[in-house]
A and B are shown apart, each in its own frame.
Chain A
Amino acid sequence: DAKTTQPPSMDCAEGRAANLPCNHSTISGNEYVYWYRQIHSQGPQYIIHGLKNNETNEMASLIITEDRKSSTLILPHATLRDTAVYYCIATTSYGNKLVFGAGTILRVKS
């Protein structure tokens, strides 16, 4: 699995967009970028994944650079309930374990 690098923490004002960066400069062609989050010791929650195209779902958007060396998770209108640790993981799809790094602690403030 490719190594990912994320800032240790970020703050975001409630109602504003939260943009969480992730560097994965050694990602290989068959590795996807996955984002999960963990809210206060609950089980991790899947957010979104992508291979090379930008993706959007009801929770977030994922922007992957053309060279695939980095990506950004966007929470369009952050709420206090989005305060969590966000993990960016690069790995091949299905049947492969997820390896979690330290992630980014996102604090949404009112």
Chain B
Amino acid sequence: NAGVMQNPRHLVRRRGQEARLRCSPMKGHSHVYWYRQLPEEGLKFMVYLQKENIIDESGMPKERFSAEFPKEGPSILRIQQVVRGDSAAYFCASSAGTGDHGYTFGSGTRLTVV
């Protein structure tokens, strides 16, 4: 049973370009969470999604960032017009939701904006 798959592992974008980060949850998991970790800092919650719904986006920057979790396919975190301050590790976690303890995290995507 594959774990949470994130791709790409490393992504380099020039300022102003778009970054698309993908997260495939564990089989049977319908809840996805995105976190950002800036260099030398802690993990910050960004957004929580269930299939086709955003449940909690309280940690998402108001502009340029969006997330989706379609009925079919992976969850996507999209960053438009990237800036150097977006350089970070982005982690995705999944859970089965009700009754599930122990979220499973992916290995992350390291975004570097040059």
Contact = CB atoms under 8 A, between A and B. Distances in A.
Interface of A: 32, 34, 38, 41-46, 49, 93-95, 97-103
Contact of B101 (A32, A43, A100, A103): A32
B105 A95 contact: no
Given A98-B45, A99-B45, A43 B98 contact: no
A3 to B, nearest CB: 14
A98 B103 contact: yes
Interface stretch (B12-20, B64-72, B73-81, B89-97): B89-97
B107 A43 contact: yes
Given A42-B107, A43-B91, A44-B43, A98 B101 contact: no
B45 A44 contact: no
Interface string B7-51: 000000000000000000000000101010100001111001000
B102 interface: yes
Contact of A98 (B4, B33, B37): B33
B42 A103 contact: yes
Q: Which of B37, B55, B91, B103 has the most CB of A within 10 A?
A: B103
Contacts of A98: 33, 45, 93, 103
Interface residues of B, number: 29
B108 A95 contact: no
Given A95-B95, A97-B45, A100-B42, A41 B103 contact: no
Nearest to B97: A95
Contacts of B101: 32, 34, 49, 93-94
B95 A100 contact: no
A44 B101 CA distance: 14
Given A46-B102, A97-B56, 12 more contacts: A42-B107, A43-B105, A43-B107, A45-B105, A94-B97, A95-B31, A95-B95, A95-B98, A98-B33, A100-B42, A100-B43, A101-B42
Contacts of A102: 42
21 contacts: A32-B101, A41-B89, A41-B108, A42-B107, A44-B43, A45-B105, A46-B102, A46-B103, A46-B104, A93-B99, A94-B96, A94-B97, A95-B55, A95-B95, A97-B33, A97-B45, A98-B93, A100-B42, A100-B44, A100-B45, A103-B42
